Amino acid sequence: MSKDIRRIGDNSANINPIEEEAIKFIKSIYEDLIVQQKYSVEAVFGKNKTVRDMNKRAAVNYLHNHILNKFKSWKESYDKR
């Protein structure tokens, strides 16, 4: 296996700051998607209608407020360049 291969999360001495920010961004989106998945599963398989309805709303809110806003702020900062 070559030593030139980098993996997400490697902390080598010659890491690019932009690359480091991209890794952090991907990790945060991944963690948000795990939370989104939990809400979605409960929205479908919740034990009663109230639980399912609450999780439907929570899934939509979480998607908009956490995940999509991260992409929006990233895109705005990218467009400024």
62 touches 39 (CB < 8 A): yes
pLDDT top residue among 25 and 38:
38
pLDDT at residue 9 greater than cutoff 80: no
pLDDT top residue among 73 and 31:
31
Helix (H, G, I), strand (E, B) or coil at 66: helix
Domain ranges of the chain: 19-79
Q: Give the pLDDT confidence score for residue 18 in this predicted structure.
A: 80
56 pLDDT tier (thresholds 50, 70, 90): very high
Residues 13, 15, 17, 20: is their CA dihedral positive or negative? negative
pTM over 0.75: no
- The residue assigned the tokens 């806003």 is 69
- The residue assigned the tokens 């360049």 is 81
